[in-house]
Chain A
Amino acid sequence: MTSTHYAILGYAVVTLVLWGYALSIYMEHRRLARRERIEQADH
């Protein structure tokens, strides 16, 4: 791997980890909201 490859790998890690975590929290919020809507509909 060249120095450029390592630089690209580094920024890929930063992007994927941070935005991946942000996306996972967003998905969990949506799952929770759907569950709350279903429970409210049951009541």
Chain B
Amino acid sequence: MKRSIIATYWLLTAAAFAGCVAMTAFYTPVEASMGPVQKIFYAHLPVAINTFFAAMIVFIASVGYLWQRKFWWDDLASAAAKVTVVYCSVVLLTGMIWGKSAWGQWWTWSPRLTFSLVLWLLYVVYVMLRPSIESPHRRAIVSAVYGLVAFLDVPLVYLSVRLMPDIHPTSVELTDPMKWTLLAWFFPISLMMLGLVRARYLLNARQRQRIQPEVAA
């Protein structure tokens, strides 16, 4: 893909990101009960949703590898797994910051927070497991099976707050400016997720081409 298109993509993402920060700071009103810290929500939710999407890419790519045994599926799954870890880290950190301000504690073992931490750990293990397996075929198969199983935690994270008693909020009352800000944040966060997965995938593919040129993609 032409460098100019990639550069435009990332410039657009950066501009949208900056625009959303400005929108959050100057356009969105301060929520009456929680104060300014509530504004973390406008980035926290889109990052959380995109964490699930990144995990879904790992799942689909894992199925793809087990079905076709083409290494580009493995490169894609590995790329998406790393992005899942990064995004999930942001979800946990922003959640903790919000929790410290709102509840007075950085962490509580509520179902949603616990399942979210498990999600993070599952994908960290995925990323750490791979370099320990020397054979590219075995690494791809083990990663693919693990990627299928790890995704099972995603519905648990999503549904836990609805099925079990939880301190984590389930629904929030939003005014129109708040709704627009929340929707706006999905744009740069989603563009970043897709861009990061693609960039990491290309890096994986190039590295595989150098290290194992005999392995067909």
Chain A residues at the B interface, C-beta cutoff of 8 Å:
1-4, 6-7, 9-11, 13-15, 17-19, 21-22, 25-26, 28-29, 32, 36
Contacts and interface: CB of A to CB of B under 8 A. Distances in A.
Contacts of B37: 3-4, 6-7, 10
Contacts of B43: 10-11, 14
Contact of A10 (B17, B40, B202, B203): B40
Contact of B199 (A1, A3, A15, A25): A25
Given A7-B37, A7-B40, A14 B203 contact: no
Please give me the 7 A-B residue pairs with the lowest Cβ-Cβ distance, nearest first: A3-B35, A10-B40, A6-B101, A3-B37, A7-B36, A4-B36, A6-B37
A35 B16 CA distance: 34
Contacts of B101: 1, 3, 6
B196 A25 contact: yes
A10 B199 contact: no
Contacts, number: 82
Contacts of B89: 17
Interface size class of B (residues with CB under 8 A): 35 or more
Interface in B168-215: 189, 192, 195-196, 199-200, 202-203, 206-207, 210
A11 B34 contact: no
Given A3-B34, A17-B89, A32 B207 contact: yes
B86 interface: yes
Given A17-B90, A32-B207, A10 B21 contact: no
Contact of A13 (B17, B97, B199): B97
Given A22-B192, A25-B199, A10 B86 contact: no
Contacts of A29: 199, 202-203, 206
Contacts of A21: 83, 86, 196
A21 B195 CA distance: 11
A32 B34 contact: no
Contacts of B200: 25
Interface string B34-59: 11111110011001000000000000
B78 interface: no
B129 interface: no
A30 to B, nearest CB: 11
Contacts of A7: 36-40
